[in-house]
Structure 1
Amino acid sequence: MLISQISKARLTKGLVVLALLVTSVASFAQLQTAVQVVTNTNNAAANSQNNIDRLSDQTEELLVQYRTVLSEIESLTVYNQQLEAVVNDQNATIQSMNEQMAELESTNRAVVPMVIEMVDMLRKIIEADIPFYIDTRLQRVVQLENMLDASNVTTSEKYRKVTEAYQIELDYGRSVSTYSAEIEGGVKVNFLQIGRTALLYQTLDEKKSGWWNTQTKRFEELPEQYNSSIKEGIRIAAKQAAPNLVGLPILFQASGE
């Protein structure tokens, strides 16, 4: 009987230990589950935080890009406004130039014939004038005549060149000069040009002198008495002597004697 009770007691104790073991195992499993849940939660939280950080970085980058785009839009708006003003000004300039071209074309039709006539008249004036610097003056006319046919020279430039040539001819009438050239027969002489009043010459040996006779349109020899005065006139024109009164055969030429 006693043995039976002892066996029952041991059995009960064993059952209690077994129950405790079962309870411990269950508790440990629950603990592991809880730990796993916490771990998973922490991992999920970490992943979520990483995603939040990544999205925050992307948002910041997009914000910077957005602000950059806004700045570019503003700059483009200002540029377009300025460009529009420039285009409008250019259009106005083009319109003005077109109007001026139309007026210029009308002016050219009137100016070109006048310029051509001026060149023709200049040649006639030089050919009828006293033949001082004759080669230079006629060459200037030839250059003007060639210029009239040049398509790369504007009408205004042609007119300017012609008026410039007329001014040179006008200045000749107020000038006194000396230069060397040849007369008929190839004789080299020193010329004395006194405006358009007289053209005198003297041979290089100073033994013979002459003048251009406007009546006969040729050079004629003068008496020896004029040698010294013509020589002095040449020296004055060459600035080798001080200005002085010189008796030249100007009146003789004008009277046609």
Structure 2
Amino acid sequence: MTLAVALGLLISQSDGFAAEKLKRAIDIEVAGQKAAGNSQKSVERLDDESRKMLEEYRLLSQQLQRTKLANDDLQSQVERQSDEIQRISAELKEIDRMRSELDPLMQQMLETLAELVARDSPFLSEEREARVASLQGANEDRSIEISERYRQLLEAYQIEADYGRNIEAYQAQLVTEAEQQKMVDFLRIGRVALFYQTLDGKAGGVWDNQNRRWISLDASHMTELTRSIRIARKQLPPDLMVLPMRIPEGGSR
């Protein structure tokens, strides 16, 4: 081997080593860049996850706050309902107490009303007796509220009270002592007097409540009785009525 050939081989081997070192250096650099890129991606991914977790935390915190407020409101409602239940319970007890006191009172009032109608002058008898019967039926019907039964009873008392403050003329059947019926005109002056007159205006009478009978009136009273009936019907203007009155307990006519 000559010196030139040996030197050439030496140079070739040196270039090969240098190229190998350069390649390794490049590979290391590339690997480092890849690693750096992967690390950056990992950091970015972790940052995204952190932001996502933070947002979820905020949402959960808001939901928790809303739930707490809803629970507080629900608790307030429960307390209010509890107070309302206690109030209603107390009112029901008071109603039961009032009912226990009202029932006997209403029964007594009803009996008094029935006695009044039975012993009073026989005006509007069918209407008044039917009203009492209706009240008695309602008082026995426990499906009707006690307040409604009491209202009906007070209304009946008011109607009876009004009878004593007005005059009225109406037609109805008169039952005679012979148990015969005939249509006549009735004239009621408050509760003071009750008259009747036949439809032809030729006969009439006044009620004697003490003896529970009708007393015939003289024919001389028929003209005034006719006029008084027309006044009660508002067919004539209001005016003084001059009629014979039957005074209880033996008074004069």
TM-score after normalising by structure 2? 0.84
Are residues 1:93 and 2:123 paired?
no
- Cα RMSD of the aligned pairs, angstroms, is 2.7
Are residues 1:72 and 2:63 paired?
no
How many angstroms apart in 2 are the aligned matches of 1:77 and 1:111? 45
Secondary structure at the counterpart of residue 167 of structure 1: helix
Q: State the Cα distance separating 1:56 from its structure 2 match.
A: 2.1
How many angstroms apart in 2 are the aligned matches of 1:118 and 1:252? 28
Are residues 1:83 and 2:89 paired?
no
2:200 to 191, 198, 205: 205
Within a 5 Å distance, the mapping from 1:193-232 to structure 2 comes to 193-232=188-227
How many angstroms apart in 2 are the aligned matches of 1:213 and 1:200? 10
Secondary structure at the counterpart of residue 202 of structure 1: strand
Change (3 A) 1:68 1:252: closer
Q: State the Cα distance separating 1:200 from its structure 2 match.
A: 1.2
Contact 2:207 2:246 in 1 (8 A): no
How many angstroms apart in 2 are the aligned matches of 1:148 and 1:99? 21
What amino acid does structure 1 have at the position aligned with 2:46? Answer: N
Q: Which residue of 2 aligns with 1:249?
A: 244
Which consecutive residues of structure 1, in runs of 5 or more, have no partner in the other structure?
none
Q: Deviations over 1:7-45 (max 9, x none)?
A: 311331232023212321331133123212322331232
What amino acid does structure 1 have at the position aligned with 2:15? Answer: L
Secondary structure at the counterpart of residue 195 of structure 2: strand
User: Greater helix percent: which structure?
Assistant: 1
Change (3 A) 1:215 1:62: closer
Secondary structure at the counterpart of residue 186 of structure 2: strand
Secondary structure at the counterpart of residue 250 of structure 1: coil
- Identity in percent: 27
Are residues 1:14 and 2:5 paired?
no
1:38 to 27, 33, 36: 33
Q: State the Cα distance separating 1:95 from its structure 2 match.
A: 5.3
Q: Which residue of 1 aligns with 2:135?
A: 144
Task: List structure 1 segments (4+ residues) > 6 angstroms apart after TM superposition.
Answer: none
Contact 2:201 2:222 in 1 (8 A): yes
Change (3 A) 1:219 1:98: closer
Contact 1:177 1:237 in 2 (8 A): yes
How many angstroms apart in 2 are the aligned matches of 1:17 and 1:153? 126
Secondary structure at the counterpart of residue 37 of structure 1: helix
Q: State the Cα distance separating 1:80 from its structure 2 match.
A: 4.3
Secondary structure at the counterpart of residue 244 of structure 1: coil
Contact 1:215 1:256 in 2 (8 A): no
Q: Deviations over 1:207-232 (max 9, x none)?
A: 33233233553345422212211111
Q: State the Cα distance separating 1:170 from its structure 2 match.
A: 2.2
Which consecutive residues of structure 2, in runs of 5 or more, have no partner in the other structure?
none
Q: Which residue of 2 aligns with 1:125?
A: 116
1:174 to 158, 165, 173: 165
Larger radius of gyration: 1
Q: State the Cα distance separating 1:137 from its structure 2 match.
A: 0.8
How many angstroms apart in 2 are the aligned matches of 1:98 and 1:108? 10
- What is the number of equivalent residue pairs in this alignment? 248
Q: Which residue of 2 aligns with 1:50?
A: 45
Contact 1:229 1:248 in 2 (8 A): yes
How many angstroms apart in 1 are the aligned matches of 2:39 and 2:100? 93
Q: Which residue of 1 aligns with 2:125?
A: 134
How many angstroms apart in 1 are the aligned matches of 2:66 and 2:234? 76
How many angstroms apart in 2 are the aligned matches of 1:37 and 1:207? 141
Q: Which residue of 1 aligns with 2:105?
A: 114
Contact 1:180 1:189 in 2 (8 A): yes
